[in-house]
Amino acid sequence: MDRVLAGIAALPPLVVLALVFLLPALESSTLLGLLIPGETVVLVGGVVAHLSGLPLWAVIVAAAVGACLGDQVGYLLGRRYGPGVLARAPAVLRRRLDLNRARRLVADRGAVAVVIGRWVAVLRVLVPLVSGASGMRRSTFGWANVTGGLLWAVAVATLGYLGSASYRYLERELGIGTYTLLAVIVVLALLAFWRHRRRAH
């Protein structure tokens, strides 16, 4: 784990910031988010900010600007071409689309759907397109997009930053190694899954 993080931290800061900007920007505008969730690179950006001299605020700004611009392009594509733009997506991507869910969310919640959708990978891709296709006003989408993008960027980048700090603290102060920490996480995940299955039955 340390070697991986050290390798990421060794990347030039401009390369890290470019990735933090590009992946969220391409999520809705190109449907790339169906394959690679944008929060992955933003989390990594937060980790790098803790491990190197890269400022956390720069990661947040890059992520927020990329997310807002990408969603604005998605909105304009939906407004111009309607839901038909999704029919042109590759079959491997169309299988992951939950268009009805996105439509219901936008119809029921309006601008709030833009903010909420930012936190769910598939909805983050679809909600801007559906918002544009549904005729949502540009100003309404605009402020909701900026609000959701900024909150998302702050939360995800800060989570990566604090997560890296917590991991290093535990390893240093408590002697918890990488594999022990991973084992604890796996056990907790299995317990959560088991409880969920019991409630379902």
Give domain limits for the chain: 2-200
C-alpha 59/C-alpha 40 separation (Å) is: 13
pLDDT tens digit string along 30-86? 877 777 788 888 888 888 888 777 899 999 999 999 999 999 999 999 888 876 666
Q: Which of 64, 61, 24, 39 is nearest to 163 (CA)?
A: 39
Q: What are the backbone angles phi and psi of residue 81, rounded to the nearest 5°?
A: -110, -10
Q: Which residue has the tokens 């169906």?
A: 34
pTM (global) more than 0.85: no
State the pLDDT confidence band at 193, using cuts at 50, 70 and 90.
Answer: low
What's the pLDDT at 52? 79
The whole-chain average pLDDT of the chain stands at 78
State the pLDDT confidence band at 16, using cuts at 50, 70 and 90.
Answer: confident
pLDDT tens digit string along 126-166? 889 889 988 899 999 999 999 999 999 999 999 888 877 66
Is the pLDDT confidence value at 97 over 80? Answer: no
